[in-house]
Chain A
Amino acid sequence: MRGGSRIALLAWFWSAAAWSGDQFDVIGAVDVRWVHATGALSYLNGGPGILRFDPEHEDLRLGRAFLAPRLRLTDILSWYAVIDAYGDHDRNPVDFSEFWLDIRPFPTNAIRWHARIGAFHMPVSLENRGAGWSDVYSITPSALNTWLGEEFRTIGAEVEARWLGASRGYLGDFAVVGAAYGWNDPAGGLVAERGFALTDRPSTLFGGLGRPPDTFYHEIDRKPGYYGGLVWRHHDRLEIRALRYDNRADPGASTVAGGSAWRTHFSSFGARLEPTAHWTFIAQYIDGNTAVGANYEGDDQFRMTYHVAFGLASYDWGRERVTLRFDDFGTHQLSGFYGPPSNESGHAWTAAWTHDFSDHWQLAAEWIRVSSDFPPRVVLDVSPVLLETQVQVAVRYRFRLGA
């Protein structure tokens, strides 16, 4: 992906903003927050810590500023984009996180087709259901969805066929989804080198994370990856998703600049239950493995399995929402030992509260405590065991322009 195209797209959306009527609208938000953190320097700042902020980066911070424009081209064709700024030292202070062409024909029978072409998040997260893929339950998404935001973006095409049960007297629907994509060959490398993390700092399409920055969206072996999944929704109250992801990367492939292809595949399961008007329960689980390096002698190749899961309970009433979440994650290295093994084990507790002052203003507060053990940290001269705490209080302003 080259940077020039994003400037052209930005200009195009800007000129589209002058269009009247219902063809163009944009949702935007600014999140400014006060942060207190204990523990190690965050990996975003070159340290071993797995939270977004750290004792050297606290007090007043920009959480996120984003614009999510949508341009309707025809009744069934629309362009979507998400443009982000995080106020850290990313080489791209403003960058695209997603942009895609959305094709949604009217159903002519009980099957409705839907396609996306471009760059977008795969349909796994049950937390990030807000505009611009934001988490509506807490400030920091789970370790699972943090990881998906950091290393994964579908850069390709996705097709969904949804059986519309309501037309047959059934209060729910069922969908089959599949995608083919490229530019995801480095996916898996970050979690192998750092372990899992809990941040609301996903990667952008052309930017990087950490110091020195890791970049993610490269095509190294010219082999497309795929995912396929199932979604079952029961009357807007229960949603169950399963997905199989495989980037089909050649773990022996690398670039002259040193970038490696990581063969990463996993199975993902998730359920969100909203049994009443107030309660939400979410559980998600991913289990998979990743590998890098040519397998000359069998055990030379770095291979690792991992699991990451969370359970969440949220209660909202009126203008308030409170959420409690438990995260559990771990990695286990199988071969390719050249240093301390990439065997991580960790868990985290998160408590969050949001209050909507109005349709536009929101106050969000969050306490998060994560305990993790990752032997490769000794290379950075720190203990492999870290206990980190982060408290954030965010003021958010949200707006919508256009119809």
Chain B
Amino acid sequence: MDQRNLEFVPRILVVATGTSVEFPNNDSVSHQVYSFSQAKRFQLPLYKGERHPPVIFEREGLVVLGCNIHDQMVGYIYVTKAPFFGKTDTSGTLRLQNLPAGDYLITIWSPLIADPPPTLVRTVHVDASETAPERFQLTRPLRARPEPRPRRGDWEY
């Protein structure tokens, strides 16, 4: 989970439980990354020229990241126990390949989705050697998330 131009890059990271995540800092300023989410509480000062060991995410759940110096920075690490998972592309598509046949529970999540969570969970059956497209039609508009306002580096805050 990188930090570039006062943003977390990527903004959303999906990992399996037990994954260790590095937090490099590629900005010219320091960051102090924290989370007080139940799935993982940590504080990670990221000063220039210092490296820190990766953070291990053992519990499933959503970890909201912030920076104690730059309040506008927000990032998400979605920690899951699911055997198959991924992040959609910009068109909202995710392709999971070579799934064994069986019944699956699909859950989708995004900080931009405003639909009630129960509507974002669905059970599907997958047959071997067949594609099984599943389409979630959102009923509410996505939450607005304007891009952060560009700032002039050190001279403006």
Check A130/B145 contact, CB under 8 A, given A21-B49, A236-B72: no
> How far does the alpha carbon of A171 sit from the alpha carbon of B148 in the complex, in Å?
11
Contact A167 B47 (CB under 8 A): no
CB neighbours (8 Å) of A36 from chain B are none
> How far does the alpha carbon of A359 sit from the alpha carbon of B155 in the complex, in Å?
9
Check A131/B154 contact, CB under 8 A, given A109-B36, A164-B71, A235-B146: yes
Contact A356 B66 (CB under 8 A): no
Contact A106 B149 (CB under 8 A): no
Contact B150 A277 (CB under 8 A): yes
Check A22/B49 contact, CB under 8 A, given A237-B146, A403-B30: yes
> How far does the alpha carbon of A104 sit from the alpha carbon of B32 in the complex, in Å?
11
CB neighbours (8 Å) of B32 from chain A are 75, 106
| Residue of B34, B111, B143, B147 with highest tally of chain A CB at under 10 A | B34
Check A400/B68 contact, CB under 8 A, given A21-B48, A109-B36, A277-B149: no
> How far does the alpha carbon of A218 sit from the alpha carbon of B30 in the complex, in Å?
37
Contact B111 A173 (CB under 8 A): no
Decide yes or no whether A64 CB sits under 8 A from chain B.
no
Q: How far is the CB of B49 from chain A (nearest CB, A)?
A: 6
> How far does the alpha carbon of A400 sit from the alpha carbon of B47 in the complex, in Å?
16
Q: How far is the CB of B78 from chain A (nearest CB, A)?
A: 14
Decide yes or no whether A129 CB sits under 8 A from chain B.
yes
CB neighbours (8 Å) of A169 from chain B are 111, 143
Residues of B contacting A: mostly: loop
Contact with B along A272-291 (1 / 0, CB 8 A): 00100100000000000000
Q: Find A162's partner among B43, B71, B147, B154 (CB 8 Å cutoff).
A: B71
Q: How far is the CB of B7 from chain A (nearest CB, A)?
A: 11
Check A164/B152 contact, CB under 8 A, given A22-B48, A107-B34, A277-B147: no
Decide yes or no whether A108 CB sits under 8 A from chain B.
yes
Q: How far is the CB of B76 from chain A (nearest CB, A)?
A: 10
Q: Find B66's partner among A21, A164, A171, A398 (CB 8 Å cutoff).
A: A164
Contact B36 A108 (CB under 8 A): yes
* Residues of B participating in the A interface, judged by any CB pair closer than 8 Å: 28-30, 32, 34, 36-37, 41, 43, 45, 47-50, 64, 66, 68-69, 71-72, 74, 111, 143-150, 152-157
